[in-house]
Structure 1
Amino acid sequence: MNMKKYTIAALVLFCCCVTAMAQSFKVVEAPNADVTRYETFTVVKGEVITPKDERKMSEEQIFEKMKAAIISELEAKGYRYVPDSTAQMVVSYVTGSFKQTETENLGPLGETPASTAADVDQSRSWSRDFRETLLEIEIDHMQSKKDLWKTSGTLLMDTTDIKLIDGTVYKALRKFPKRKKK
């Protein structure tokens, strides 16, 4: 009996994790912009919109982790990181995590059989608390400051948790094109 409880709990946890990670990012590419022709990029400090009293780490820690994750993903696609303004592309981000509460009134009986006559007119409702995270990564041309590529999405997790930033950045940049070799 205990094994069955653990199996069900593990399955529920797995489904929750898959649901959170399965959410997608929307990609916007500038018309006539071919990012594959660029070779170099730099990462600038982005904006963290999580309320200060809810952050698990400082803006500087988030920046260092975001920067490392972005560099890792773009270098894997054939681009080269440079730490200064000689880069052809500049990468910035906006991220934030917020507490959300979802409630719903299920109405009389709330899909639950009444055990007494007094329960027939009783409303049933439910609520759940969760964290929702916004992540937007924008890549611009360094000299002209024009948008080249942007991705944005929301996840049902907390990206101010340092352990989750790598996976979230990977998911956000998954559709960024590999660099064409000359």
Structure 2
Amino acid sequence: MPDIEDRIAALQDKSLLLLDDDQALRNRLGRALESRGFEVRSAASVAEALSALSSQPPAFAVLDMRLEDGNGLKVVEALRARRPEARTIMLTGYGAIATAVAAVKAGAVDYLSKPADADDVVKALLSEPGDSPEPPENPMSADRVRWEHIQRVFELCNHNVSETARRLGMHRRTLQRILAKRAPR
């Protein structure tokens, strides 16, 4: 990946804000982005991110969509107001077309689903307008996408199996068997 490394080295401002409430992901992705040449500041909440923006708005941002104290879109809008040329990527474990459209309308340049690979994040941050993204190297399997969707609905139903089964249109026992299994790869 020498082309990407050269492009990062040529940047005048390598500041990057990483916002995610998952500490393990934030640490892992932060280290990976630092090893590629970015100057990473991390935040675990919308409030922390807004505070970081007020002191020095970064040139780049990688933001989680759903956080305990709000929505990452609020941070995108605040960053666009302070630094319109900043390039922002939204990350989420709950991929949906409506949220992708909202993120792009708010000013994000791309929208990636978790778990996002650091190379995919860097490619998205440095992509030129009009570039079409390459297909992912290791896309989620259809079984994994289905499992993620079931988990999301289960979480939104406050872990109520009967309500989740009703909303998904499946039998409660079938859902219980799916929930008892490990996540597919």
Larger strand proportion of the pair:
1
When normalised by structure 1's length, the TM-score is: 0.20
Structure scoring higher RCO (CA < 8 A, sep ≥ 6) equals 1
When normalised by structure 2's length, the TM-score is: 0.19
When Rg is computed on C-alpha atoms for both structures, the one with the higher figure is: 1
